[in-house]
């Protein structure tokens, strides 16, 4: 995320440009997160399918063993059938092992990808918070610029006490915009993502 700084200026045009850049950055990150989540969904689907294939292979192996036992009892009458069952067992074991390895690989990949996705989601939450803060600063700056239109540019001299020390003026009371209750963070700021997606459970 770019480290945008809000300049201490009353230039409405400059503030609008920074605001647009922040909103555009938020939309771009939303798109990236969407693609990452879609990729994760595809990977989880492939992992689920691989797990089901392991079950099928286990059933196939059990079935081949049953055939082998039956062929052994009738070996004198079905030697050829017994050989075929032995070959089927070897094939089923190879297939089971291959699918088990693939299932374990995909499960590990899913766990790793979930951690990456959670990192991306956490980054988005942080970035959204930063963007919301900067947009609020821009809105306040713009509101201050509007309210100061028509006022003179005369310099203000800080008051002093009897000892000649500067007296710090009391902070200006909150503007109407600052007094307004903030919307829920889940609603998000327009153009900066409608809230953040939930974290993915690993």
pLDDT of residue 72: 75
Q: Of 197, 70, 52, which Cα lies nearest the Cα of 122?
A: 197
Q: Which residues contact 46 (CB under 8 A, 6 or more apart)?
A: 106
193: left (phi > 0), else alpha (psi -120 to 50), else beta? left
pLDDT band at 192 (very low <50, low <70, confident <90, very high): very low
pLDDT range class, residue 112, cuts 50, 70, 90: very high
Region of poorest pLDDT, from 29-38, 72-81, 116-125, 172-181 = 172-181
76-109 pLDDT tens trace = 777 777 788 889 999 999 999 999 999 999 999 9
Where are any strands of DSSP class E within 14-73? none
**Burial of 104 by CB count in 10 Å (0-12 exposed, 13-18 middle, 19+ buried)?**
middle
Does pLDDT of 54 surpass 80?
yes
Report the chain's mean pLDDT, rounded to a whole number: 77
Q: What is the pLDDT of residues 12-34, one digit of tens each?
A: 787 888 888 888 888 999 999 99
Per-residue pLDDT band for 179 (boundaries 50, 70, 90) equals very low
Cβ 15 vs Cβ 178: under 8 Å: no
Res 169 pLDDT > 60: no
The answer regarding whether domain 13-142 maps to CATH 1.10.287 reads: yes
164 pLDDT tier (thresholds 50, 70, 90): very low
Domain segments of the chain: what residues? 13-142
Taking 70 as the threshold, does the pLDDT of residue 149 lie above it? no
Q: What phi and psi values does residue 166 have, to the nearest 5 degrees?
A: -65, 140
Q: In the prediction, which pLDDT does 127 show?
A: 97
Which of the residue ranges 54-58, 77-81, 116-120, 147-151 would you say has the lowest mean pLDDT?
A: 147-151
DSSP annotation of 75: T
pTM over 0.85: no
- Alpha-carbon distance of 146 to 148, in angstroms, equals 5
Backbone angles phi, psi at 150, to 5 degrees: 95, -15
- The highest-confidence range among 9-13, 81-85, 161-165, by mean pLDDT, is 81-85
């Amino acid at each position: 995320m770019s480290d945008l700084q809000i300049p201490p200026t009353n230039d409405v045009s400059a503030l609008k440009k920074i605001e647009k850049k922040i909103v555009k950055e938020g939309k771009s990150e939303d798109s990236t997160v969407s693609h990452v989540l879609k990729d994760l969904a595809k990977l989880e689907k492939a992992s689920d399918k691989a797990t089901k294939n392991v079950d099928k292979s286990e059933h196939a192996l059990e079935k081949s063993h049953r055939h082998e036992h039956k062929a052994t009892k009738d070996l004198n009458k079905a030697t050829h059938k017994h050989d075929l069952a032995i070959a089927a067992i070897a094939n089923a074991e190879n297939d089971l092992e291959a699918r088990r390895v693939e299932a374990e690989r995909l499960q590990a990949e899913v766990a790793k990808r979930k951690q990456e996705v959670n990192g991306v989601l956490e980054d988005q939450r942080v970035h959204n918070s930063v963007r919301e803060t900067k947009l609020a600063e821009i809105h306040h700056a713009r509101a201050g610029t509007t309210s100061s239109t028509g006022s003179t540019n005369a310099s203000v001299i800080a008051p002093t006490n009897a000892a000649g020390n500067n007296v710090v003026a009391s902070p200006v009371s909150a503007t109407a915009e600052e007094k307004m209750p903030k919307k829920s963070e889940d609603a998000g700021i327009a153009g900066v993502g409608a809230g953040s997606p939930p974290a993915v459970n690993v």
